[in-house]
Copies of this chain bind each other. A is one copy, B any other.
Protein backbone atom coordinates (compact mmCIF):
# COMPACT_ATOMS: atom_id res chain seq x y z
CA UNK A 1 0.00 0.00 0.00
CA UNK A 2 1.33 3.40 -0.95
CA UNK A 3 1.95 5.70 1.99
CA UNK A 4 1.73 9.46 1.52
CA UNK A 5 3.25 12.60 2.87
CA UNK A 6 0.13 14.54 3.77
CA UNK A 7 -0.09 18.25 4.52
CA UNK A 8 -3.14 19.54 6.39
CA UNK A 9 -3.45 23.24 5.64
CA UNK A 10 -5.40 24.94 8.43
CA UNK A 11 -4.52 22.13 10.85
CA UNK A 12 -5.52 24.04 13.98
CA UNK A 13 -8.94 25.10 12.69
CA UNK A 14 -12.22 23.35 13.40
CA UNK A 15 -12.30 21.48 10.07
CA UNK A 16 -8.52 20.88 10.10
CA UNK A 17 -8.74 19.18 13.48
CA UNK A 18 -11.69 17.14 12.29
CA UNK A 19 -9.65 16.09 9.21
CA UNK A 20 -6.82 14.86 11.46
CA UNK A 21 -9.34 12.98 13.62
CA UNK A 22 -10.93 11.33 10.57
CA UNK A 23 -7.58 10.48 8.90
CA UNK A 24 -6.72 8.59 12.11
CA UNK A 25 -10.20 7.08 12.48
CA UNK A 26 -10.17 5.72 8.94
CA UNK A 27 -6.51 4.76 9.06
CA UNK A 28 -5.52 6.72 5.98
CA UNK A 29 -2.01 5.67 4.82
CA UNK A 30 -0.01 8.63 6.13
CA UNK A 31 3.78 8.22 5.93
CA UNK A 32 4.48 11.71 7.21
CA UNK A 33 2.19 14.47 8.37
CA UNK A 34 2.77 18.18 7.83
CA UNK A 35 0.34 20.24 9.92
CA UNK A 36 0.35 23.74 8.39
CA UNK A 37 -1.28 26.85 9.73
CA UNK A 38 -0.80 30.59 10.00
CA UNK A 39 2.25 32.01 11.78
CA UNK A 40 0.16 32.44 14.94
CA UNK A 41 -0.22 28.67 15.41
CA UNK A 42 3.34 27.71 14.39
CA UNK A 43 5.15 25.91 17.19
CA UNK A 44 2.04 24.14 18.53
CA UNK A 45 2.23 20.37 18.50
CA UNK A 46 -0.21 17.95 16.93
CA UNK A 47 -0.41 14.34 18.04
CA UNK A 48 -1.30 11.98 15.20
CA UNK A 49 -1.16 8.17 14.91
CA UNK A 50 1.14 8.00 17.91
CA UNK A 51 3.59 10.59 16.60
CA UNK A 52 4.03 14.20 17.55
CA UNK A 53 4.23 16.77 14.75
CA UNK A 54 5.06 20.46 15.09
CA UNK A 55 2.67 22.89 13.40
CA UNK A 56 4.58 24.85 10.75
CA UNK A 57 3.72 28.16 9.17
CA UNK A 58 2.32 27.55 5.70
CA UNK A 59 4.54 28.94 2.93
CA UNK A 60 4.96 27.95 -0.72
CA UNK A 61 8.02 25.93 0.28
CA UNK A 62 6.02 23.94 2.84
CA UNK A 63 4.71 21.80 -0.01
CA UNK A 64 8.10 20.47 -1.17
CA UNK A 65 7.94 16.68 -1.03
CA UNK A 66 4.21 16.61 -0.16
CA UNK A 67 1.99 14.12 -2.02
CA UNK A 68 -1.42 15.21 -0.80
CA UNK A 69 -2.75 18.44 0.68
CA UNK A 70 -6.04 18.71 2.55
CA UNK A 71 -6.75 22.44 2.62
CA UNK A 72 -9.24 24.23 4.85
CA UNK A 73 -7.67 27.53 5.82
CA UNK A 74 -10.08 29.81 3.97
CA UNK A 75 -10.52 30.91 0.35
CA UNK A 76 -7.83 33.59 0.34
CA UNK A 77 -5.20 31.18 1.70
CA UNK A 78 -6.18 28.56 -0.88
CA UNK A 79 -6.04 31.14 -3.66
CA UNK A 80 -2.43 31.86 -2.76
CA UNK A 81 -1.05 28.52 -1.63
CA UNK A 82 -2.93 25.79 -3.52
CA UNK A 83 -1.25 26.64 -6.88
CA UNK A 84 2.10 26.56 -5.05
CA UNK A 85 1.36 23.07 -3.79
CA UNK A 86 0.30 21.86 -7.24
CA UNK A 87 3.42 23.44 -8.78
CA UNK A 88 5.47 21.29 -6.41
CA UNK A 89 3.71 18.11 -7.49
CA UNK A 90 1.11 17.69 -4.75
CA UNK A 91 -2.55 16.86 -5.30
CA UNK A 92 -4.84 19.15 -3.31
CA UNK A 93 -8.30 18.45 -1.89
CA UNK A 94 -9.53 21.97 -1.23
CA UNK A 95 -12.32 22.62 1.25
CA UNK A 96 -12.68 26.30 0.43
CA UNK A 97 -14.94 27.93 -2.12
CA UNK A 98 -12.08 29.35 -4.19
CA UNK A 99 -11.80 26.71 -6.96
CA UNK A 100 -15.24 25.10 -6.70
CA UNK A 101 -16.80 26.61 -9.78
CA UNK A 102 -13.59 26.58 -11.85
CA UNK A 103 -14.27 24.49 -14.96
CA UNK A 104 -10.91 22.73 -14.73
CA UNK A 105 -11.51 21.65 -11.12
CA UNK A 106 -13.80 18.72 -10.30
CA UNK A 107 -16.23 19.38 -7.42
CA UNK A 108 -16.80 16.06 -5.72
CA UNK A 109 -18.93 14.45 -3.04
CA UNK A 110 -17.53 10.98 -2.35
CA UNK A 111 -19.98 8.29 -3.34
CA UNK A 112 -21.90 10.72 -5.54
CA UNK A 113 -19.63 11.74 -8.42
CA UNK A 114 -16.32 9.94 -7.83
CA UNK A 115 -16.01 9.62 -11.61
CA UNK A 116 -15.16 13.33 -11.79
CA UNK A 117 -11.91 12.68 -9.92
CA UNK A 118 -10.38 11.21 -13.08
CA UNK A 119 -10.11 14.56 -14.84
CA UNK A 120 -8.49 16.44 -11.97
CA UNK A 121 -5.46 18.59 -12.78
CA UNK A 122 -4.01 18.73 -9.30
CA UNK A 123 -6.97 20.25 -7.47
CA UNK A 124 -10.22 18.65 -6.34
CA UNK A 125 -12.75 20.90 -4.65
CA UNK A 126 -14.91 19.84 -1.73
CA UNK A 127 -18.34 21.51 -1.81
CA UNK A 128 -19.93 23.81 0.69
CA UNK A 129 -21.33 21.97 3.73
CA UNK A 130 -24.97 22.80 3.09
CA UNK A 131 -24.64 21.48 -0.47
CA UNK A 132 -22.65 18.34 0.36
CA UNK A 133 -25.21 16.72 2.62
CA UNK A 134 -27.96 17.08 0.03
CA UNK A 135 -26.02 15.35 -2.75
CA UNK A 136 -26.30 11.63 -1.85
CA UNK A 137 -30.04 12.19 -1.39
CA UNK A 138 -30.56 14.23 -4.54
CA UNK A 139 -28.52 11.87 -6.71
CA UNK A 140 -30.62 8.86 -5.75
CA UNK A 141 -33.91 10.75 -6.05
CA UNK A 142 -32.86 12.09 -9.46
CA UNK A 143 -32.33 8.51 -10.65
CA UNK A 144 -35.73 7.60 -9.21
CA UNK A 145 -37.93 10.39 -10.51
CA UNK A 146 -35.88 13.09 -12.23
CA UNK A 147 -35.31 16.33 -10.34
CA UNK A 148 -37.46 19.01 -11.95
CA UNK A 149 -37.30 21.75 -9.33
CA UNK A 150 -35.81 21.99 -5.86
CA UNK A 151 -36.56 24.49 -3.05
CA UNK A 152 -34.25 24.45 -0.02
CA UNK A 153 -34.56 26.25 3.33
CA UNK A 154 -31.54 25.73 5.55
CA UNK A 155 -31.17 25.72 9.33
CA UNK A 156 -27.36 25.98 9.69
CA UNK A 157 -25.33 25.64 12.87
CA UNK A 158 -22.74 28.05 14.27
CA UNK A 159 -19.89 25.63 13.56
CA UNK A 160 -20.31 26.40 9.87
CA UNK A 161 -18.55 29.66 10.79
CA UNK A 162 -15.69 27.77 12.47
CA UNK A 163 -14.43 27.82 16.05
CA UNK A 164 -15.09 31.54 16.34
CA UNK A 165 -18.70 31.01 15.40
CA UNK A 166 -19.18 28.30 18.01
CA UNK A 167 -17.45 30.41 20.64
CA UNK A 168 -19.59 33.43 19.82
CA UNK A 169 -22.77 31.39 20.18
CA UNK A 170 -21.58 29.90 23.49
CA UNK A 171 -20.52 33.30 24.84
CA UNK A 172 -23.68 35.09 23.78
CA UNK A 173 -25.79 32.29 25.26
CA UNK A 174 -23.91 32.59 28.54
CA UNK A 175 -24.52 36.35 28.48
CA UNK A 176 -28.24 35.71 28.01
CA UNK A 177 -28.43 33.13 30.80
CA UNK A 178 -26.47 35.23 33.29
CA UNK A 179 -28.55 38.35 32.57
CA UNK A 180 -31.88 36.58 33.06
CA UNK A 181 -32.30 36.41 29.27
CA UNK A 182 -31.91 40.16 28.68
CA UNK A 183 -28.38 40.67 27.31
CA UNK A 184 -27.86 39.15 23.85
CA UNK A 185 -24.08 39.48 24.13
CA UNK A 186 -21.69 40.61 21.43
CA UNK A 187 -21.67 39.67 17.80
CA UNK A 188 -18.67 39.91 15.51
CA UNK A 189 -18.82 36.65 13.57
CA UNK A 190 -22.56 36.77 12.92
CA UNK A 191 -24.36 39.82 11.55
CA UNK A 192 -26.74 39.82 14.53
CA UNK A 193 -26.55 38.20 17.98
CA UNK A 194 -27.33 34.50 17.37
CA UNK A 195 -28.26 33.39 20.89
CA UNK A 196 -32.03 32.74 20.96
CA UNK A 197 -32.21 34.34 17.53
CA UNK A 198 -31.92 33.56 13.80
CA UNK A 199 -29.69 35.22 11.24
CA UNK A 200 -30.97 34.85 7.66
CA UNK A 201 -27.62 35.87 6.22
CA UNK A 202 -24.68 33.50 5.70
CA UNK A 203 -21.71 35.02 3.86
CA UNK A 204 -21.99 38.22 1.84
CA UNK A 205 -24.90 39.50 -0.19
CA UNK A 206 -24.67 39.36 -3.99
CA UNK A 207 -26.33 41.83 -6.37
CA UNK A 208 -29.42 39.69 -6.86
CA UNK A 209 -30.26 39.70 -3.14
CA UNK A 210 -29.00 36.16 -2.56
CA UNK A 211 -26.20 35.44 -0.12
CA UNK A 212 -23.06 33.70 -1.36
CA UNK A 213 -24.09 30.70 0.75
CA UNK A 214 -27.38 30.45 -1.12
CA UNK A 215 -25.59 30.92 -4.44
CA UNK A 216 -23.23 28.06 -3.50
CA UNK A 217 -26.10 25.66 -2.83
CA UNK A 218 -27.57 26.53 -6.22
CA UNK A 219 -24.39 26.54 -8.35
CA UNK A 220 -22.59 23.66 -6.64
CA UNK A 221 -25.62 21.36 -6.78
CA UNK A 222 -25.87 21.95 -10.53
CA UNK A 223 -22.16 21.21 -11.03
CA UNK A 224 -21.96 18.08 -8.86
CA UNK A 225 -25.09 16.49 -10.31
CA UNK A 226 -24.19 17.52 -13.90
CA UNK A 227 -27.53 19.30 -14.16
CA UNK A 228 -26.48 22.79 -15.31
CA UNK A 229 -30.08 23.87 -15.87
CA UNK A 230 -31.59 22.45 -12.68
CA UNK A 231 -34.28 24.74 -11.30
CA UNK A 232 -33.22 25.29 -7.73
CA UNK A 233 -33.48 28.00 -5.10
CA UNK A 234 -32.33 28.34 -1.49
CA UNK A 235 -32.76 30.40 1.65
CA UNK A 236 -29.87 29.99 4.10
CA UNK A 237 -30.45 30.75 7.76
CA UNK A 238 -28.06 30.54 10.71
CA UNK A 239 -29.71 29.00 13.79
CA UNK A 240 -28.50 28.81 17.42
CA UNK A 241 -27.27 25.21 17.14
CA UNK A 242 -23.61 24.30 17.69
CA UNK A 243 -23.10 21.44 15.24
CA UNK A 244 -25.32 19.97 12.52
CA UNK A 245 -27.01 21.53 9.53
CA UNK A 246 -30.67 20.80 8.76
CA UNK A 247 -32.53 21.50 5.53
CA UNK A 248 -36.23 21.52 4.65
CA UNK A 249 -36.45 20.50 1.00
CA UNK A 250 -39.32 20.49 -1.50
CA UNK A 251 -38.73 18.56 -4.72
CA UNK A 252 -40.82 18.54 -7.90
CA UNK A 253 -40.09 15.39 -9.93
CA UNK A 254 -40.46 14.67 -13.64
CA UNK A 255 -42.35 11.48 -12.76
CA UNK A 256 -44.61 10.50 -9.83
CA UNK A 257 -42.61 9.40 -6.77
CA UNK A 258 -44.36 8.16 -3.63
CA UNK A 259 -42.89 8.61 -0.14
CA UNK A 260 -42.61 4.81 0.05
CA UNK A 261 -40.60 4.67 -3.19
CA UNK A 262 -38.32 7.46 -2.01
CA UNK A 263 -37.73 5.72 1.33
CA UNK A 264 -37.00 2.40 -0.37
CA UNK A 265 -34.57 4.05 -2.81
CA UNK A 266 -32.75 6.04 -0.10
CA UNK A 267 -32.34 2.90 2.01
CA UNK A 268 -29.98 1.61 -0.68
CA UNK A 269 -27.63 4.62 -0.37
CA UNK A 270 -24.69 3.81 1.92
CA UNK A 271 -24.23 7.46 2.97
CA UNK A 272 -27.87 7.88 4.03
CA UNK A 273 -30.01 6.73 6.97
CA UNK A 274 -33.76 7.19 6.44
CA UNK A 275 -36.44 7.49 9.12
CA UNK A 276 -39.37 5.37 8.08
CA UNK A 277 -41.89 6.84 10.50
CA UNK A 278 -42.68 10.55 11.01
CA UNK A 279 -41.93 10.35 14.75
CA UNK A 280 -38.37 9.13 14.12
CA UNK A 281 -37.34 12.45 12.57
CA UNK A 282 -33.66 13.38 12.89
CA UNK A 283 -32.39 16.47 14.72
CA UNK A 284 -28.95 18.12 14.54
CA UNK A 285 -28.17 16.62 17.95
CA UNK A 286 -28.67 13.15 16.43
CA UNK A 287 -26.31 13.91 13.55
CA UNK A 288 -23.43 15.36 15.58
CA UNK A 289 -20.33 13.18 15.44
CA UNK A 290 -21.67 10.58 13.03
CA UNK A 291 -21.05 10.03 9.33
CA UNK A 292 -24.42 9.45 7.64
CA UNK A 293 -26.84 11.95 6.25
CA UNK A 294 -30.12 11.55 8.15
CA UNK A 295 -33.36 11.94 6.22
CA UNK A 296 -36.82 12.07 7.71
CA UNK A 297 -40.33 13.49 7.37
CA UNK A 298 -40.62 12.28 3.78
CA UNK A 299 -44.17 13.05 2.67
CA UNK A 300 -46.18 14.11 -0.34
CA UNK A 301 -46.01 17.82 -1.10
CA UNK A 302 -49.58 19.07 -0.57
CA UNK A 303 -48.92 21.80 -3.17
CA UNK A 304 -47.91 19.17 -5.75
CA UNK A 305 -49.29 15.83 -4.53
CA UNK A 306 -48.74 13.88 -7.76
CA UNK A 307 -45.07 14.54 -8.36
CA UNK A 308 -43.77 16.32 -5.29
CA UNK A 309 -42.18 15.39 -1.97
CA UNK A 310 -41.05 17.25 1.14
CA UNK A 311 -38.01 16.02 3.08
CA UNK A 312 -36.00 16.98 6.17
CA UNK A 313 -32.26 16.37 5.72
CA UNK A 314 -29.77 16.63 8.61
CA UNK A 315 -26.04 15.95 8.87
CA UNK A 316 -22.90 16.81 10.79
CA UNK A 317 -21.65 19.76 8.77
CA UNK A 318 -18.08 19.25 9.99
CA UNK A 319 -18.01 15.64 8.77
CA UNK A 320 -19.85 14.97 5.50
CA UNK A 321 -19.99 18.71 4.93
CA UNK A 322 -16.22 19.11 5.18
CA UNK A 323 -13.65 16.82 6.82
CA UNK A 324 -15.18 13.41 6.13
CA UNK A 325 -15.75 14.23 2.49
CA UNK A 326 -12.17 15.51 2.14
CA UNK A 327 -10.76 12.28 3.56
CA UNK A 328 -13.13 10.13 1.50
CA UNK A 329 -12.01 11.98 -1.63
CA UNK A 330 -8.39 11.28 -0.63
CA UNK A 331 -9.26 7.59 -0.22
CA UNK A 332 -10.81 7.51 -3.69
CA UNK A 333 -7.79 9.29 -5.19
CA UNK A 334 -5.58 6.67 -3.55
CA UNK A 335 -7.75 3.79 -4.78
CA UNK A 336 -7.82 5.15 -8.34
CA UNK A 337 -4.06 5.83 -8.32
CA UNK A 338 -4.66 9.54 -8.78
CA UNK A 339 -2.29 10.92 -6.15
CA UNK A 340 0.97 9.85 -7.82
CA UNK A 341 0.77 12.69 -10.24
CA UNK A 342 3.99 14.50 -9.46
CA UNK A 343 5.11 16.87 -12.20
CA UNK A 344 2.05 15.85 -14.27
CA UNK A 345 0.10 18.98 -13.33
CA UNK A 346 2.94 21.15 -12.12
CA UNK A 347 3.44 22.59 -15.60
CA UNK A 348 -0.18 23.77 -15.88
CA UNK A 349 0.00 26.11 -12.91
Q: Is A240 an interface position by the 8 A CB rule?
A: yes
**Most central of A155, A197, A231, A308 by chain B CB within 10 Å:** A197
Contacts of A155 in B (CB 8 A): 155, 198, 237, 239
Contacts of A310 in B (CB 8 A): 233, 235
Contacts of A177 in B (CB 8 A): 170, 173-174, 177
Q: Is A278 an interface position by the 8 A CB rule?
A: yes
User: Given A240-B240, A302-B210 in contact, is the A197-B233 Cβ separation under 8 Å?
Assistant: no
Which listed residue (B197, B278, B279, B283) contacts A241, Cβ 8 A?
Answer: B197
Interface size class of A (residues with CB under 8 A): 35 or more
Interchain Cβ contacts under 8 Å between A and B, 28 examples: A149-B304, A150-B303, A151-B151, A151-B250, A151-B303, A153-B235, A153-B248, A155-B198, A173-B176, A181-B242, A191-B279, A196-B240, A196-B284, A196-B285, A197-B283, A199-B283, A200-B296, A210-B302, A211-B278, A218-B302, A231-B302, A233-B301, A233-B303, A233-B308, A234-B302, A235-B297, A237-B248, A250-B250
Known: A191-B279, A218-B302, A233-B303. 12 other contacts (CB 8 A): A149-B304, A153-B153, A170-B177, A192-B283, A198-B239, A201-B281, A211-B278, A231-B303, A232-B303, A233-B304, A235-B248, A237-B248
